[in-house]
Structure 1
């Protein structure tokens, strides 16, 4: 991840992405015909930026396994900051929803607790994943618990994205089939990548066991 030959990484990458999301949202509000429609457009735009950033974090390690190159390895290195950028983008998305609901009195009464449940669950997991990306919280968890939380959390968020797109295909627009298909492809990439990683680990363990068996001096030195 570089610009003009200079690498942008770590917190610089996070602040750059965050600034771009804020600038985009501000520009949409300035160009909108009125605040209500402007906020509605911000909701749509930040949904897209959040989805893009989520996909990048979701498939990072699998892409690096299946298509190893400088970009995919860089994506793995910056996955934490890409994930935090996703959380920030979705925070802006949430702020736009709250603002839209405040200016449009018909919005919240038209939604039920059941309708809000997937989004609420998604935000809870986003908050948990973002918080445990910092050492203060991660050090208070075992490595196994941290990995379990992040694995479950990222899959829950993926399912919520998929559900959100799928339910809109028959009721709003067939164009929602595009992001739904992209998500399905990302799921396939992640599953194949994880399978490839597991296969390589098993092969490495088998080679190590074979070397130890064939070389008795190795066993004597243990």
Structure 2
């Protein structure tokens, strides 16, 4: 694939923005339309996060030209996720300021705190997605930040879709919850040692 680097992140961001403009062009700038946009950008963020989160495992488990491309562009897919998620944040802020009732009352303090910390990780991980940052931080500290941050973000997605499943519609949100749960076994499947062949000496 010829789509690489910043062109990938720019294209993904433009597609999300165009989709939102189309949505608001049809529905207008109102609470239901913004709520739909919040849900849509949450799903785009989940998909982009999932690709970046599992790319090395997918290449190890099911190598293909597509898995090699995603692994090679994992940084830019991760930055595409950050772009999508900050657009998501902008929509949440718009909803909070312009149409606070009943949106704000439906969010718990834990959601604001937990989500705020997740956005802190998204910002730091995007900021340090360069070779220079890896050199400045040291690979050990860089890996620690991205390990903790990515798993914190995964937990946020998990809790979000648990809440959506409870509120419904179940048939729509349950696949996203199952998809989110599946990311962890996929991520760590490559670390499971292969079974010894039957009849192999102990």
TM-score normalised according to structure 1 size: 0.81
RMSD: 1.7
- In 2, the alpha carbon distance for the partners of 1:110 and 1:170 equals 14
**Aligned residue in 2 for 1:67:** 62
What stretches of structure 1 of length at least 5 have no aligned partner?
A: 200-222
**Aligned with 1:195: secondary structure?**
coil
Q: Report matched runs for 1:1-222 at 5 Å.
A: 2=1, 7-106=2-101, 107-174=103-170, 175-195=172-192
Shifted more, 84-93 versus 119-128: the winner is: 119-128
- 1:35 is displaced (CA, Å) by 2.4
- In 1, the alpha carbon distance for the partners of 2:162 and 2:94 equals 26
- In 2, the alpha carbon distance for the partners of 1:116 and 1:155 equals 18
Shifted more, 187-196 versus 39-48: the winner is: 187-196
- In 1, the alpha carbon distance for the partners of 2:3 and 2:163 equals 38
Q: 1:56 to 1:120 in 2, by over 3 A?
A: same
Aligned length, in residue pairs: 192
TM-score normalised according to structure 2 size: 0.88
- In 2, the alpha carbon distance for the partners of 1:73 and 1:50 equals 21
- In 2, the alpha carbon distance for the partners of 1:32 and 1:136 equals 44
- 1:40 is displaced (CA, Å) by 1.3
Bigger relative contact order, structure 1 or 2 (CA pairs below 8 A, ≥6 apart): 2
Q: Deviations over 1:113-132 (max 9, x none)?
A: 22312211211111111111
Rg (Cα) greater in structure: 1
Q: 1:33 to 1:11 in 2, by over 3 A?
A: closer
Shifted more, 103-112 versus 52-61: the winner is: 103-112
Q: 1:69 to 1:191 in 2, by over 3 A?
A: same
